[in-house]
Chain A
């Protein structure tokens, strides 16, 4: 497993995810523009934005502490790590045993904690507001996410994402009721964790409703670019987790170079569909009031629990 091809696959995948993540964001934005009858921006727009931000002068508030300065890098590091754990193109990656699904949830929690702390660092009203709301959504989404992942873990008898995907990808195609429940729950968590409608609106700066944007309000230039990039990687990672759990067919084994083009094509197709689906959801749904978020996420939690119980009852 720890062979040279395995490590090559690991590095290839990590670099690929980091570079391709903004493309997914661009694709979602493009789809959304089409659905809303607007003329769509270029799919490469996120890259232009990142390049523009990197070239600007950074502005800090006078009292910014080291936590504020380091958080963008830590966020980026966390998401990069997540991108290394998730089997995007291949299973059996050498790094994967170092962190299982519980650790993966832990990485996202670590990133969330630091972004909330950074938001409170400057001492503005919006920063505290954003931190509070972000942690609210976080503590509701995390148990639901864990329950979803536990359902998959019970099915495959392992908490390692690659083993789970191996098991799920190689069993016969059928509709498993436990996974169906888990998939719906996971989708709801994905929307909440990635600051998407109906929980948050990634394009708004309206103070009454914003969550995620309030967190990063004080950031500019290269720090903002890193955060935006990290967010793109997070969306990519969540989508690939979803694909790995609920539609894993076509994934390659690490070191199997011949399967790589096929795995790559399958991934591109699935991501394109998932991105279009996300744009559709964001177009047809309205944003919920903040205090309906607990209901939304507890529904997700209950669905995940139902999925797990279904697994115990029908073994499927």
Chain B
């Protein structure tokens, strides 16, 4: 019974339970049945339990535990505090939906492969739980690397395709660059004292210069995992390569462990946040936000598009974190906590709606085999339920009230409007401009999802794929639908009852900065009203908002019904009287992005081929590429290749040469040791 009263022990049991489920999947002979009917549902149940433990931990005092595992003299330390509790809640609740979905999604996998997927999937979940629970740098790095490796194997599930192998390699490479930076950061914090527990790192008194070095290393290392600019390049490659539930896990949850790491290291371990760091985070966040959404608008592969939106949303979270650091650095913890709450709220929101959208993309892929938007169209008729859930996700990510994306953007705006408390004139005027970036990104996201939804689900089926699978597209299976419904319900709950989550996050803020939201804010907040600062200054009530808008819509409907006839005739589309229209005349995904290419042209690297007047077979082609490949990645890759080709000269393949190397090494060592 002790387990249930202690969230730390409970979370540990869940994490170990995931490992057990993972291993058990290999044992039974009919393991496809086992994975689908037992492993994934069990994993989902464990997720729900973990969410409950996390929620409990937010309200309880911090608990710690030392495990008799690990290296001699270096045992594993575990700890659960409100911050870890919040992220465990995120991990548990979102993974529950994805696990239920996976139980339906992998129905056509051969059993051997499915057992492996189930193994890696649950190891992946368990390693993320250990990342959140870790209380020493050693366990943290072990869990962090397990997470990277298990997700790498999930990404290359279809490893027979070369493109997927290279996507996986890129992912592994950037993940390890980040891991090295994190390791170095722990090294800086540790400062040679021999104790790697977070308590010791927290107690370390760093000189300002070393603190800044530690911050930069943490920002780079965790940023690489989160997909911030310019380390985002693996995201649009790895997410489409992975099976859809895995993309949902990676985009929804794994990126968030990087946010957790950033908050843990910068706010908790380093402490004494400086506002200059905040400005750097804000600048990178703004660039990431705009870049992510502008490149998302150019994509026609649905999963790549969603991956670029993950980049964008990480940027939005960074904007909140950066603002929080600026406020705290200037000595305004109340405003800082508000910005931190906004960032963490968006972290949770993004996990929920991006998970939902990736699952929706998976159902489309499952049902039609298509990922290219230009081949889709009219799916709302064959897959009405998937279309409904996807619409909820699309509205939520577009930050439209009364769903959840709006709440976190609203909180971020409110935080930006606190800029007047800052004494530094330049910083004070810059903060609202970052808010404007957010506004622009929100509106661009809406455009992007009009494009996605309008082209995939609405309109007429496009006939560019032969034979077109669209007319026979069936809806998602029951388990897939339950998974999506769980996350869609999350969008509503997070959108309609923000105050309960505000209070949870306030606990997190108090535990990190020692201060929470103002008294007026907490006094003015009820389940109905969201009041971040004071009742007269800003308030929002999503429930009333929804009720009024629904009532007005229904009233309009009923009045029109009551007073006028309801006659409807069906006819061919009007289209200004043009009778010859075909489905090819509809907008494509690329056409929809054309105004954006026009307005933001210099941001893209475009390769456009226009047909000449004499062409007998006129073809138009357009390729939009990521500029970062050309100024950053390819030069670095070439330099690495050059260096390794020089080092390879050592490799002569003759045993006498290698013996000579050993001999020289020995001599050199003797010289040094003496």
A contact residues vs B (CB 8 Å cutoff): 54-55, 57-63, 65, 67, 70, 73-74, 76-78, 80-81, 84, 95, 97-100, 102-103, 106-107, 109-110, 112-113, 116-117, 119-129, 131-133, 135-136, 138-140, 142-143, 146-147, 150, 153-154, 157-160, 163, 205, 207, 217-218, 220, 222, 226, 291, 294, 301, 305, 308-309, 312
Determine whether the beta carbon of A133 is less than 8 Å from that of B537: no
Determine whether the beta carbon of A76 is less than 8 Å from that of B568: no
Chain A residues whose CB sits within 8 angstroms of the CB of B574 once the complex forms: 59, 61, 124, 217-218, 220
Nearest B residue to A139 via CB reads B443
Nearest A residue to B541 via CB reads A98
Chain B residues whose CB sits within 8 angstroms of the CB of A142 once the complex forms: 439-440, 442-443
Determine whether the beta carbon of A123 is less than 8 Å from that of B377: yes
Determine whether the beta carbon of A107 is less than 8 Å from that of B417: no
Determine whether the beta carbon of A74 is less than 8 Å from that of B571: no
Determine whether the beta carbon of A135 is less than 8 Å from that of B446: yes
- Measured CB to CB, the closest approach of chain B to A186, in angstroms, equals 15
Determine whether the beta carbon of B567 is less than 8 Å from that of A226: no
A124-B573, A128-B459, A218-B574 as given contacts; A58 in contact with B548, CB under 8 Å: no
Q: State in angstroms the CA–CA spacing of A160 and B548 once bound together.
A: 18
A77-B552, A113-B450 as given contacts; A294 in contact with B599, CB under 8 Å: yes
Chain A residues whose CB sits within 8 angstroms of the CB of B568 once the complex forms: 57-60
Determine whether the beta carbon of B569 is less than 8 Å from that of A58: yes
B contact residues vs A (CB 8 Å cutoff): 377-378, 380-381, 391, 395, 398-401, 406, 409-410, 413-414, 417, 420, 425, 428-429, 432-433, 435-436, 439-440, 442-444, 446-447, 449-450, 453-455, 458-460, 529, 535-541, 544-545, 548-554, 556-557, 560, 563-565, 567-576, 578, 581, 583, 585-587, 591-592, 594-596, 598-599
Chain B residues whose CB sits within 8 angstroms of the CB of A150 once the complex forms: 417, 432, 435
Determine whether the beta carbon of A113 is less than 8 Å from that of B538: no
Specify which of A135, A146, A147 lies most central, judged by the most chain B CB atoms within 10 Å of its CB: A135
- Measured CB to CB, the closest approach of chain A to B400, in angstroms, equals 5
Q: A73-B553, A123-B378, A123-B459 are in contact. List 16 more A-B contacts (CB 8 A).
A: A60-B568, A76-B553, A98-B541, A99-B544, A103-B406, A103-B540, A107-B401, A113-B446, A124-B575, A124-B585, A129-B587, A132-B592, A132-B595, A139-B447, A309-B429, A312-B428
Determine whether the beta carbon of A59 is less than 8 Å from that of B446: no
Chain A residues whose CB sits within 8 angstroms of the CB of B381 once the complex forms: 63, 65
Select B446's contact among A60, A109, A133, beta carbons within 8 Å. Answer: A109
Q: State in angstroms the CA–CA spacing of A59 and B446 once bound together.
A: 29
Chain A residues whose CB sits within 8 angstroms of the CB of B435 once the complex forms: 146, 150
- Measured CB to CB, the closest approach of chain A to B442, in angstroms, equals 7
A60-B568, A135-B446, A308-B432 as given contacts; A80 in contact with B575, CB under 8 Å: no
A136-B595, A159-B538 as given contacts; A121 in contact with B458, CB under 8 Å: yes
A/B interface sample: 19 pairs, CB < 8 A: A55-B564, A60-B569, A62-B571, A73-B557, A77-B551, A77-B553, A98-B541, A109-B399, A113-B446, A117-B454, A119-B454, A123-B460, A127-B459, A128-B591, A136-B599, A154-B432, A222-B564, A226-B556, A305-B436
A98-B544, A98-B545 as given contacts; A217 in contact with B575, CB under 8 Å: yes
A123-B583, A147-B432, A217-B575 as given contacts; A158 in contact with B538, CB under 8 Å: yes
Q: State in angstroms the CA–CA spacing of A250 and B571 once bound together.
A: 52
Chain A residues whose CB sits within 8 angstroms of the CB of B406 once the complex forms: 103, 106
- Measured CB to CB, the closest approach of chain B to A192, in angstroms, equals 13
Q: State in angstroms the CA–CA spacing of A10 and B519 once bound together.
A: 30
- Measured CB to CB, the closest approach of chain A to B20, in angstroms, equals 45
Nearest B residue to A112 via CB reads B446
A65-B380, A81-B545, A207-B576 as given contacts; A123 in contact with B570, CB under 8 Å: no
- Measured CB to CB, the closest approach of chain B to A5, in angstroms, equals 19
Nearest A residue to B596 via CB reads A136
Chain B residues whose CB sits within 8 angstroms of the CB of A217 once the complex forms: 574-576
Determine whether the beta carbon of A81 is less than 8 Å from that of B459: no
- Measured CB to CB, the closest approach of chain A to B4, in angstroms, equals 39
Chain A residues whose CB sits within 8 angstroms of the CB of B410 once the complex forms: 102-103, 106
Chain B residues whose CB sits within 8 angstroms of the CB of A116 once the complex forms: 450, 454
Chain B residues whose CB sits within 8 angstroms of the CB of A309 once the complex forms: 429
Specify which of A57, A80, A124, A312 lies most central, judged by the most chain B CB atoms within 10 Å of its CB: A124
Nearest A residue to B585 via CB reads A125
Q: State in angstroms the CA–CA spacing of A81 and B447 once bound together.
A: 23
Determine whether the beta carbon of B553 is less than 8 Å from that of A67: no
- Measured CB to CB, the closest approach of chain A to B214, in angstroms, equals 34
Specify which of A62, A99, A100, A163 lies most central, judged by the most chain B CB atoms within 10 Å of its CB: A99
- Measured CB to CB, the closest approach of chain A to B345, in angstroms, equals 15
Chain B residues whose CB sits within 8 angstroms of the CB of A61 once the complex forms: 570-574
Determine whether the beta carbon of A76 is less than 8 Å from that of B439: no
Select A67's contact among B380, B443, B569, B594, beta carbons within 8 Å. Answer: B380
A122-B459, A312-B425 as given contacts; A100 in contact with B569, CB under 8 Å: no
Specify which of B410, B439, B570 lies most central, judged by the most chain A CB atoms within 10 Å of its CB: B439
Chain B residues whose CB sits within 8 angstroms of the CB of A74 once the complex forms: 553
Q: State in angstroms the CA–CA spacing of A220 and B595 once bound together.
A: 29
Nearest A residue to B594 via CB reads A132
Chain A residues whose CB sits within 8 angstroms of the CB of B458 once the complex forms: 65, 67, 117, 120-121, 123
Determine whether the beta carbon of B417 is less than 8 Å from that of A159: yes
Chain B residues whose CB sits within 8 angstroms of the CB of A78 once the complex forms: 549, 552
Q: State in angstroms the CA–CA spacing of A226 and B564 once bound together.
A: 13
Q: State in angstroms the CA–CA spacing of A294 and B599 once bound together.
A: 7
Determine whether the beta carbon of B459 is less than 8 Å from that of A58: no
Chain A residues whose CB sits within 8 angstroms of the CB of B599 once the complex forms: 136, 140, 294
